[in-house]
Amino acid sequence: MITRDSRVKDLLKNPIAHDVIGRLVQYAGVSESLILNPVVKNLKLSAVPKFAGKRVKDADTIVDTMIDLFNQEGGTRPVSPSSGKAWWKEAVIYQIYPRSFMDGNGDGVGDIPGLVQKLDYLHGLGVTALWLSPIFDSPNDDNGYDVRDYRAIMKEFGTMADVETLIKELHERDMRLILDLVVNHTSDEHEWFVDSVKNPDGEHGDYYIWRKTKGNTPPNNWNSFFSGPAWDKVNERDEWYLHLFSKKQPDLNWENENVRADVRSIVGFWRGKGVDGFRLDVINYISKTSLDDGNETLGGLLGFCGIEHYFYGKRLHEYLHELRVGAFQDAFTVGETPGTGPEMNKLLTADERQELNTVFNFDHLENLGKSRFDDYRYNLNHLKKCFIGYESDYADYAWPSVFVENHDNPRMVSKIDAREDYRDAIAKLLAVLLLTARGTVFLYQGQELGAVNVPFHDISELRDIESVNRYDTMISDGTSEKEAWQTVLRGTRDHARTPMQWDAGEYGGFSEHEPWIRVGDKDECNVEMQTRDENSVLSAYRALIALRKEHPALVYGTFEPFEANKEDVFCYFRDDGAERFYIEVNLCARTIRRPKQAAETELLFSNYIAQDDAMQPYEANVYRVEKKES
């Protein structure tokens, strides 16, 4: 038990505290050496506020909130190692943003029949499952992440019959379907919310998080992730409701057991249709420990106020276990869990606890203390450090998910090095790291072509609510148009949301009609071109996926870093006893010395044609290691 009498160094022994400190280093750019400083280490927690002095005026509340958070797992037993094979551990899952994948009916918006036309392409690529960003009926304030009806299909995407066809066609190809379930919040047009507004004492009166206040100030100081306060007032009820995302995305009240029963019934409905798994949107936010004010210092560091009250809420594990036992059962689940750390993730995914199968950790997406809106060049040594963390001991207890792209992030190739000369090598380097990783692999549409960021001209070309709100807020706060635009352009989620580039046609082969969002560099980068080229990024992905499927060592084998302390190279072995592989990657744009490795090897894949003593910029190789006959 941690109390105000505990010392800072005791915190390092508490797994939850350890995670929280890791979060501060990753997201707030707090220096590790500050915490490890001998004077700080020996401070009693009660002395921290005084030590922090006037700079952190609310240090007392941080200390108390954190003590509660750390003690949350006070009596929790450590988890045992996880083992055993499963289809989802071996899966190469391809994420589709349905609005932008393929337009089947020529209205400029992607749809399910369009996707069905492309199943042979996906099967040929070798991916074994598809995750579809939300396809449910929605007013599209956040492109489907605001659900109006969980049992109906978004009109623009097609019909229930189309989805049934998709499931059948996938299963015939031995592929699986994973749906995106958004149940931290609904749309404000969902019938539950409409009824909740009208009938505070009715069946749905308590389905959302409503609070009264005196006057015109919101119930607390929390921020929405899409700018502005996380509360909005409804005059009809004379109350405020919580929305961590847009005001058209009210948060559900999970403390109400009818809400939880309804969510279980939605899961049952889709399992009945043959869906194989679920990606659970911001699932770690569902339990709100309290509605107290967020700590302003923490809020300032993290960019959003209030997170400490819901990113790892008191009842999170209870809700997830209830869902697993009562609804998911053997369906696959991957939780989107922004902000949790490795020890928390072990508790969320350990086999014996029956909560989730795996979670997305985001630490590797940005360098320490950086956000996607910052102006900086990504250093791949950080990715190495994170991947070593995920794939080593952690993976003995909690099966990782590995990915570098999704619909919420600019393209990874652009983040690392925007120079066209290196595009091909970096795209293939990422393919090597993912497809030889110990974890479930997630690819995002277009990644298999080496897609890069889109040179949008101005705010009128962007569609994403996050970008548009952020831009407007910056302008109204007095930022110049130029600076606001450059910031939003760096981080906009729309880089990943432009149409899939099938060929060099006017709209990239995506549609006959002008698409809902502009197209990227389809003349230089498209499926048709890369299919013909055996050295293309697409061909590399195909080869590496096939390699992974052929060799279980690349999935289940041990992960053994080699020369881990050397900067700018990332080398490791994968070994399942039967076979051994060696992976060797140059993480920088310089030619570097090739690390010496004694075993005899056979080269299976390289992103360069010829090899010599030095490693070329971003060179990445996969070798089979000759096993000595014993």
- Report the nearest approach of ligand TEU to the CB of residue 392 (Å): 26
**Stretch 395-434 residues interacting with ligand TEU (CB under 6 A):** 407-408
Judge whether 116 and 169 are in contact, CB under 8 Å.
yes
Q: Which residues of 154-169 are buried (b: 16+ CB within 10 A; e: fewer)?
A: bebbbeeebbeebbeb
Residue 141, amino acid: D
Q: Pick one of ligand TEU, Ca ion, none as the site partner of residue 281 (Cβ within 5 to 8 A by kind).
A: ligand TEU
Q: Which does 282 bind (CB under 5 to 8 A by kind): ligand TEU, Ca ion, none?
A: ligand TEU
| Nearest distance, CB of residue 588 and Ca ion, angstroms | 43
Q: For 162, how many CA atoms within 13 A lie in the half-sphere containing its CB?
A: 19
- Choice between 142 and 417, CB closer to ligand TEU: 142
Residue 109 binds to Ca ion (criterion: CB under 5 A):
yes
Q: Which is nearer to ligand TEU, 244 or 380 (CB)?
A: 244
> Using the rule CB under 6 A, is 145 a contact of ligand TEU?
yes
Piece of 102-110, 118-126, 278-286, 444-452 that binds Ca ion (CB under 5 A): 102-110
102 dihedral zone (left: phi>0; alpha: psi -120 to 50; beta)? beta
**Helices (DSSP H) in 395-479: which residue ranges?**
395-397, 412-416, 420-435, 465-476
Kindly write out the interface string for residues 89-128 of this chain, putting x where it contacts ligand TEU by CB under 6 A and - elsewhere: ----------------------------------------
The greatest distance separating any two alpha carbons of the chain, rounded to the nearest whole angstrom, comes to: 80
Gap between the Cα atoms of 135 and 628, Å rounded: 52
Q: Is 68 a catalytic residue?
A: no
Q: Is the dihedral of CA 35, 40, 46, 50 positive or negative?
A: negative
- Facing residues of 221 across strands? none
**Which residues on neighbouring strands pair with residue 132, listed in sequence order?**
96, 179
Q: Which of 10, 58, 68, 107 binds Ca ion (CB under 5 A)?
A: 107
111 lines the binding site for Ca ion (CB under 5 A): yes
Find where tokens 């160094």 sit.
Answer: 9
- Please state, in angstroms and rounded to a whole number, the distance separating the CA atoms of residues 42 and 213: 42
Find the length of the chain.
Answer: 630
Amino acid identity at 618 = Y
Q: Give residue number: closest CB to Ca ion.
A: 111
- SS3 call for 592: strand
448 binds, among ligand TEU, Ca ion, none (CB under 5 to 8 A by kind): none
Beta strands 620-625 and 569-575 are unpaired
Please report where in the chains the tokens 């393209």 appear, as a residue. 411
Contacted by 111, from ligand TEU, Ca ion, none: CB < 5 to 8 Å by type: Ca ion
142 binds ligand TEU (CB under 6 A): yes
Binding mask 526-565 for ligand TEU (x = CB under 6 A): ----------------------------------------
Select 70 or 222, whichever has its Cβ closest to ligand TEU: 222
Segment lying near Ca ion (by CB under 5 A), choices 24-32, 104-112, 282-290, 370-378: 104-112
Q: What share of the chain is helix, strand, coil (3-state, %, to 5)?
A: 40, 15, 45
Applying CB under 6 A, does 281 fall inside the site for ligand TEU? Answer: yes
Alpha-helix residue ranges (DSSP H) falling in 199-295? 257-272
Candidate residues 71, 72, 105, 597; the one interacting with Ca ion per rule CB under 5 A: 105
| Smallest separation (angstroms) from ligand TEU to the CB of 145 | 3
Measured between alpha carbons, how far apart are the two ends of the chain, in Å? 52
Minimal distance, residue 226 CB to ligand TEU, in Å: 8
Residue 105 touches which of Ca ion, ligand TEU, none (CB < 5 to 8 A by kind)? Answer: Ca ion
Residue 96 beta carbon to Ca ion: minimum distance, rounded to whole angstroms: 14
Least Cβ distance, residue 322 to ligand TEU (angstroms): 22
Member of 11, 26, 59, 103 binding Ca ion (CB under 5 A): 103
Give the count of beta carbons closer than 10 Å to the beta carbon of residue 603. 12
Does the footprint of ligand TEU cover residue 154 (CB under 6 A)? Answer: no
Is 336 a residue of the active site? Answer: yes
Query: How far apart are alpha carbons 566 and 599 in whole angstroms?
Result: 19
Residue nearer to ligand TEU on the CB measure, 116 or 320: 320
- For the residues of 494-519, what is the DSSP string, one character each? GGGTSPP--SSSTTTTS-SS--SS--
Q: Bridge-partner residues for 242, per DSSP?
A: 231
> Which of 142, 162, 336, 343 is labelled catalytic?
336
d(CA 22, CA 45): 18
Binding status of residue 282 toward ligand TEU by CB under 6 A: yes
**Per-residue mark of binding to ligand TEU, 198-237 (x: CB under 6 A):** ---------------------------x------------
Dist CA 321 CA 360 (whole Å): 18
Q: Which of 417, 418, 424 is nearest to 533 (CA)?
A: 424
- What are the residues whose beta carbons fall under 8 Å from the beta carbon of 191, sequence distance 6 or more? 149
Strands 136-137 and 231-234 come out as unpaired
Q: What mask, x for binding ligand TEU by CB under 6 A, covers residues 356 to 395?
A: ----------------------------------------
Catalytic residue among 281, 405, 494, 584: 281
Nearest-Å Rg of the Cα atoms of the chain is 24
Considering the complex, what minimum distance in angstroms separates the CB of residue 408 from ligand TEU? Answer: 4
By CB under 6 A, residue 182 contacts ligand TEU = yes
Q: Residue count at the site for ligand TEU (CB under 6 A)?
A: 12
Q: Which of 245, 311, 328, 570 touches ligand TEU (CB under 6 A)?
A: 245
Segment interacting with Ca ion, rule: CB under 5 A, options 71-79, 101-109, 305-313, 403-411: 101-109
What CA–CA distance (Å, rounded) separates 535 from 471? 40
Which residue is closest to ligand TEU by CB?
145
The answer to whether 466 contacts ligand TEU (rule: CB under 6 A) is yes
Residues annotated as part of the active site: 281, 336
**Residues near ligand TEU (CB under 6 A):** 142, 145, 182, 225, 245, 281-282, 336, 338, 407-408, 466
Residues that bind Ca ion (CB under 5 A): 103, 105, 107, 109, 111
